[in-house]
Amino acid sequence: MKPLFGQVTIVGLGLIGGSIGMAARRRGLARKVVGLSRGEATIRRARIRGAIDWGTTDPVRAARDADLVVLATPVDMLTPQALRLARVMRPGGLLTDTGSTKAAVVEALDRCLPHRIAFVGAHPVAGSEQRGLDAAQADLFDGSLCVMTPTARTDRRALAAVARFWTRLGMRVVTMSPARHDRLLAGGSHLPHLIAYALAGSVSPGLPRPPQSFTDVTRIARSEPDLWDDIFLSNRQPLLAALVAFTRELERLGRAVAKGDRTSLRRRLTRAKARRDALEA
């Protein structure tokens, strides 16, 4: 297939940015994949790993000829970076991101970006507890979901072009509002992370080999704290709402255990299992 873009610039060459570059190059989505990073060493490693054609630490050189800029940095850097790069991007340039929370960034960019730059918020729902370019893989996104969060302000042609990019990267694209995205991800991803951190931080299995159940539930507590405090704080209200629902159910289970109420316990466990089983279908 012919390339979708002349130049795609990836900002941030970590697990996500590096994997996007590897996949984009392997699938021929751009004639040129450029990387922007603060670290010269990262740029060298990204070239060696095949994640970029060339890279620079200079935002102007990275962005001025880009047809599409993909922001793949931590959530709290997305808005300032987008605003800075938009100043040097050429008119009609496309901008998308990979942030795990959407409402705050999309709202800020809808308000502040110049009209000649078309921004389309996106969240490729993939990744792992690992971090950094060394963990990047060309197939990280294969078969994963990409949530795009257009608004009334989003240019429809830009939306279609960016959707093609994520689709050709191997993902299934769905669109929804930023608020809905944040609510669903609060329960589906951010709360599980908070829970895993709470369990790893409060309980020691204390056996020569921890049970599989403990290591499975807490695996994501190995994720990087400086990425996750951002995500938690940038999605505060939806996360706290999901936390309340979870805590209420956990309290009900705890009360049933304390009272020896097998009937209530069995009913709740059965309902939870049915809901979880349904996800496998």
Residue list 191-250, contact with a copy of itself (CB under 8 A): 191-226, 228-229, 232-233, 236, 239-240, 242-243, 245-250
Minimum Å gap between C-beta 267 and a copy of itself is 9
Q: How many residues bind a copy of itself (CB under 8 A)?
A: 83
- As a dihedral over the C-alpha atoms of residue 155, residue 149, residue 66, residue 128, rounded to 10 degrees, the angle is -170
The DSSP bridge pattern shows strands 122-125 and 145-148 to be antiparallel
Distance in Å, CB of 73 to a copy of itself, minimum: 17
Least distance in Å: CB of 79 to a copy of itself? 17
Smallest separation (angstroms) from a copy of itself to the CB of 69: 25
Strands (DSSP E) along 72-197, which ranges? 94-97, 118-120, 122-125, 145-148, 172-175
Angle at 231 between CA 20 and CA 97, to 5 degrees: 35
CA distance 252 to 258: 10
* Distance between CA atoms of residues 133 and 70, nearest Å: 16
Q: Which two tokens stand for residue 157?
A: 């042609």
Task: Give the residue with the Cβ less far from a copy of itself, 28 or 188.
Answer: 188
* The only residue of 125, 133, 140, 159 in contact with a copy of itself, by rule CB under 8 A: 125
Binding to a copy of itself in span 24-83, by CB under 8 A? none
Interactions with a copy of itself, residue window 157-196 (CB under 8 A):
172, 174, 184-185, 187-189, 191-196
CB of 2 to a copy of itself, least distance (A): 29
